[in-house]
Chain A
Amino acid sequence: MFEITSVAKPATVDEALTYLTRGGATMAKTGAAQPGVRLLAGGTDLLVASRDRNLRWETLIDLKNIPELHGIHLSGGTLRVGSTTTIHELAASPLVAATLPPLAEAAGMLGSYQLRQRATLGGNICNASPATETACPLLVGNARVQLAGPTGTRTVPLCELLLAPGKTALESGEILVSVECAVPERAHPDLRYGGAYIKLGPRRAMDIAIVNVAVLVGLDTDSVCRDARIALGSVGPTAFRVPQAEDLLIGQALGSNAVAAAADAARAAARPITDIRATAGYRLDMVRNLVETAIITALERVTPAGL
């Protein structure tokens, strides 16, 4: 039976950091040791795992009452999403749909409607599932994460944060504050972009992915590809970018040969395992087929020239 002794509800990041590093007022009273302390966002992973594994927590630090951790903003060509922003808010945001469409698409496929009301972007990232819905679109968005810790804040690329299943580069005492993506069209005003996200699962909802793929392509006025970003999920210890495949697109007018070559390169870069959901061999083939489909879809979605 899992147990939670207390739940702290800090109102600021600094207050949350105090709870996390020194125990805070409530914890001082109970004399709690730090190992029993954990950050709580939506709880859709943490509380289920706690129940499954009979975990005991002295203090859960609920981050949902901290205004600065919440919300979706666009400023200076950068999309900034606070870590406790819910997956539903991402899926429903016109701002996200306009600036990084694969992220909105992916958010709409995570879990169920009910789950999306509760689950947060920060929680989804820090849970570090290789099959996570949000990592691939954020990776193609060149996402950087802002971390607050006892000695100040630092910003790291998302690809450096994700280390292994369940493991991130978050140091003890650190909190994920926000995720930032430079809006592709603002960073490269000379290019027109199109994006796609594909998740393969046996069902049409409520699935954990067998393979996820996100693609973003930027074309110049001659329809030559000048920017290509491809990320894969569920086929390695973390979601990851495949520069080997991207390089085969850049500088090309994307015909079927170039697209097929990139898909083959993505397949070669994937390192899937066989598990209860699918064999490694099937996953490899799916990487190839779905990268191809995702690139074609992304190209179809590139804003027409002159608009």
Chain B
Amino acid sequence: MATTSTLTAVGRPFERLDGERKARGQALYAADIELPSMLHGRLVRSPHAHARLLGVDPSAALAVPGVVAVLTAKDVPGRNAVGSRGVQDQPILVTDHVRFLGEPVAMVVAESVAAATQGTAKVKVDYEPLRGVFTPEEALAPDAPALFERGNLCHQARTRRGDFDAARRQAALVVTNVYRTPMVDHAFLEPHAAVARPDGGDAVTVWVTAKTVHPMMDEISRILGWPKEKVRVIAATVGGSFGGKPEIPLGCLVALAAVRTGRPVKMVYTREETFQTSAKRHPYVVRLTHAMAADGHILGLHADITADAGAYTTESRAVVGRAVGHCAGPYYIPNVDVEGRAVFTNNPAPGAMRGYGVPQVAFAHEIQMDIIAARLGLDPVEVRLRNVLKPGLPTITGQPVLEGVGAEACLLRIRELLAAEDATDPCPPQGVPDRNGELLGWGVATFYYGNGRTAVEDVGRARIRREADGSFTLFVGVPDVGQGSDTILAQVACEELRVPWPAVKVISADTAHTLETGPSSASRVTVVVGRAVQEAARRMREFLDSGGGADWRPGDPLPEMAAEYRTDSTSLDKNGQGSPYGTYTYGVQAVKVGVDPRTGKVAVRKVLAAYDVGPIVNPLLFQGQVEGGVTGGVGYALFEGIRLTEGRVANPNFHTYLLPTALDSTAPVLAETVESHDGAGPFGAKGIGEPASIPTAPAIANAIHRATGGRFFELPITMEKVYRALRR
């Protein structure tokens, strides 16, 4: 483990700064915000997944007592199109073309939620239903109805290197399989909510539940046709993100309603609305072909990846781009031919979710590795060791792996830990129950994950101010979405300022006070924003050490330092070659499962993990991330899946959409780190947010195989599927 023993703040298990506030119920979430004379919004949503919108008549709704206004697309003064990452193709209120079920057609604003809800039932909407497309195959058929003029192909990305066909010809073994992963929901505890307050006639403040505020400010200013300075966006306490939030149309709609009515407006989605209409993890179909040498080396990889992009682009381009670059896993493969695409359908649009396209491909490549090991008669860890990326070798995008990378060390450590388990608590042979009647098995999965945004220069910014009392305030543009980023960044600042914990207060995600620094996503905050914080703190310390601020008098401006950090990443060429990330997290998880042969019910019994994640900034938060990530992975592996019927979510609530409960998450999670010296973050740190979750599902699938002999190529692996495999 990289040493942090000389440090006083970084590496310490401090309690999170927001913990007590949340435990006492004092944290203010967006839905908790109450403002004088506040109105409430509810949306009229399309009952059709695909339709022509012929007309909206609000007159009866306006007659409902308490209804103040009904907004339609005609009320949008600016450009009625929002989106992420430069593609704005989604209206906040439908103009003429409904593309998914639940798409907002009108917003009713009223004195109470009840009046607004009554009003929505009275808005008369005329639709002409259209034939919909609900799978990528349907959407790409020649006679498919088009969602957009340019057709239903949302995005395509490629990675090519070497000569896959030649590799295939030389191969002693070729393994091809198709893997399917479902659409899943973030299932944060807090549904989407937003509040807007008009500030005079020409400015507005909006509180959102969000992983990012500056892009939200941009979108609102475009919707209103106002300059950005007139729009202030603040992240309220965020009740979970996991890559989701903000819901961009929601923030824009409350802002528009507040401006139109001249009064504060709040809107809170129901759980059903959140399930039906907000972003999800993309469902993927992944076809992998590995060309293998007899000695277990991978000669070549062919991959074909199709993602259902749903009704709008949202983050699909970048999600598919990341999947294409990560679909090989952390292995050296000289010959690669990968193609990925995202396809529009009339399903709710997926977006960013923990892992950003990588959990899907990791499920595929890690089951492939186990199948290859079995076919070649190798141990599953051994086949990974023979191929794992080592310093100097290129990834499939041609990015050289840096000195100090511990990917191989993670595998070696897991091999040691598994040998120790085998010596003390061995599993019976495959298919043979233990004394409790359970089938047992360990499965492993490894992965790597580029920290930060893909193939763009990722920029972190931060500002530090010394207060009159000698304490410090750190201003960062990213909200703490529950992962503890405020605490992590304060630890970095304390360390660099060489002041005792917790002498730094954090103000995060308020466009009036913080600099744009990208979203709280992509496992980037500790690394990219952390480096900017470290640099700002270093400048402040040097300023103060050289006598700066010594002559400060009350009334003088407070001393302030700002800094910016840019990652060492490049764009990709037409063959998908380049260095898309400044640094990568590597890791391995080993999961032990117990399977009840009478029912097929799977229980996770133990989880071991080894990570190359650089030095740990806060061990408590690291353990929390890994336990939370594993729990998410257990849900992905065994329970979760949005069921869609012609674009309608059939399980939009927690009694039909099954998440692991506390009793399903009782397995000990023992996470270690290995020595690592290539981290780009402060003090060599790397990101853990998404890496915590990515390997869990394939490790569980491999463990179930070890226990039962059943192979599973589609998630979730329900107990009924396991039972059927056992009967075969």
Could you say which of B118, B601, B663, B724 contacts A200, with CB atoms under 8 Å apart? B601
Q: For residue B598, which residues in chain A have a CB less than 8 angstroms away from its CB?
A: 289-290, 293
Taking a contact as CB atoms under 8 Å apart, the answer to whether B118 and A1 are in contact is yes
Considering the complex, which residues of chain B in the window 698-728 have a beta carbon less than 8 Å from any beta carbon of chain A? Answer: 718-720, 723-724, 727
Could you say which of B643, B664, B723, B727 contacts A203, with CB atoms under 8 Å apart? B664
Which of A1, A276, A279, A289 has its CB near the most chain B CB atoms (within 10 A)? Answer: A1
Taking a contact as CB atoms under 8 Å apart, the answer to whether A204 and B638 are in contact is no
**In the assembled complex, A206 has its CB within 8 A of some CB on chain B:** yes
Give chain B nearest CB distance to A156 CB in angstroms. Answer: 31
Contact with B along A259-297 (1 / 0, CB 8 A): 000000000000000001011001001100110010000
Taking a contact as CB atoms under 8 Å apart, the answer to whether B114 and A278 are in contact is no
For the complex, what is the distance from the CA of A51 to the CA of B27, rounded to whole Å? 28
Could you say which of A200, A208, A290 contacts B655, with CB atoms under 8 Å apart? A208
Which of B118, B723, B727 has its CB near the most chain A CB atoms (within 10 A)? Answer: B723
Contact with A along B309-328 (1 / 0, CB 8 A): 00000000000000000000
Q: Smallest CB-CB separation from B721: which chain A residue?
A: A282
Give chain A nearest CB distance to B593 CB in angstroms. Answer: 14
Contacts A200-B601, A208-B655, A276-B651 hold; do A285 and B723 have CB atoms under 8 A apart? yes
Taking a contact as CB atoms under 8 Å apart, the answer to whether A202 and B658 are in contact is yes
For the complex, what is the distance from the CA of A293 to the CA of B436, rounded to whole Å? 13
Taking a contact as CB atoms under 8 Å apart, the answer to whether B720 and A279 are in contact is yes
Which of A208, A276, A285 has its CB near the most chain B CB atoms (within 10 A)? Answer: A285
Taking a contact as CB atoms under 8 Å apart, the answer to whether A204 and B661 are in contact is yes
Q: For residue A203, which residues in chain B have a CB less than 8 angstroms away from its CB?
A: 639, 658, 660-661, 663-664
Contact with B along A195-220 (1 / 0, CB 8 A): 00000101111111000000000000
Q: For residue A279, which residues in chain B have a CB less than 8 angstroms away from its CB?
A: 720
Q: For residue B720, which residues in chain A have a CB less than 8 angstroms away from its CB?
A: 278-279, 282
Could you say which of B114, B651, B661, B727 contacts A205, with CB atoms under 8 Å apart? B661
Contact with B along A227-264 (1 / 0, CB 8 A): 00000000000000000000000000000000000000
Taking a contact as CB atoms under 8 Å apart, the answer to whether B661 and A276 are in contact is no
Taking a contact as CB atoms under 8 Å apart, the answer to whether A286 and B661 are in contact is no
Taking a contact as CB atoms under 8 Å apart, the answer to whether A204 and B719 are in contact is no
Q: For residue A206, which residues in chain B have a CB less than 8 angstroms away from its CB?
A: 655, 661
For the complex, what is the distance from the CA of A276 to the CA of B658, rounded to whole Å? 11
Taking a contact as CB atoms under 8 Å apart, the answer to whether A1 and B114 are in contact is yes
For the complex, what is the distance from the CA of A285 to the CA of B117, rounded to whole Å? 46
For the complex, what is the distance from the CA of A285 to the CA of B727, rounded to whole Å? 11
For the complex, what is the distance from the CA of A1 to the CA of B650, rounded to whole Å? 21
Give chain B nearest CB distance to A191 CB in angstroms. Answer: 28
Q: For residue B719, which residues in chain A have a CB less than 8 angstroms away from its CB?
A: 202
Q: Smallest CB-CB separation from B654: which chain A residue?
A: A206
Q: For residue A276, which residues in chain B have a CB less than 8 angstroms away from its CB?
A: 643, 650-651, 656
Considering the complex, which residues of chain B in the window 659-689 have a beta carbon less than 8 Å from any beta carbon of chain A? Answer: 660-664
Give chain A nearest CB distance to B282 CB in angstroms. Answer: 22
Give chain B nearest CB distance to A115 CB in angstroms. Answer: 11
For the complex, what is the distance from the CA of A298 to the CA of B282, rounded to whole Å? 47
Considering the complex, which residues of chain B in the window 590-645 have a beta carbon less than 8 Å from any beta carbon of chain A? Answer: 598-599, 601, 603, 638-639, 643
Give chain B nearest CB distance to A243 CB in angstroms. Answer: 24
Q: For residue B650, which residues in chain A have a CB less than 8 angstroms away from its CB?
A: 276
Taking a contact as CB atoms under 8 Å apart, the answer to whether A204 and B664 are in contact is yes
Contact with B along A40-70 (1 / 0, CB 8 A): 0000000000000000000000000000000
Q: For residue B661, which residues in chain A have a CB less than 8 angstroms away from its CB?
A: 203-206
For the complex, what is the distance from the CA of A286 to the CA of B643, rounded to whole Å? 24
Taking a contact as CB atoms under 8 Å apart, the answer to whether B662 and A205 are in contact is yes
Q: Smallest CB-CB separation from B666: which chain A residue?
A: A204
Q: For residue B724, which residues in chain A have a CB less than 8 angstroms away from its CB?
A: 282
Q: List 16 extra interface pairs beyond A200-B601, A282-B720, A290-B598, CB under 8 A.
A: A202-B718, A202-B719, A203-B660, A203-B663, A203-B664, A205-B662, A205-B664, A206-B661, A276-B643, A276-B651, A278-B720, A282-B723, A285-B727, A286-B599, A289-B599, A290-B599
Q: Can you report 19 residue pairs joining A to B where beta carbons are below 8 Å apart?
A: A1-B117, A202-B718, A202-B719, A203-B639, A203-B658, A203-B663, A204-B603, A204-B663, A204-B664, A206-B655, A206-B661, A208-B655, A276-B643, A276-B650, A276-B651, A278-B720, A282-B720, A282-B724, A289-B599
Interface residues of A (CB under 8 A from B): 1, 200, 202-208, 276, 278-279, 282, 285-286, 289-290, 293
6 nearest A-B pairs in the assembled complex, by CB-CB distance: A204-B663, A289-B598, A205-B663, A205-B661, A282-B720, A1-B117
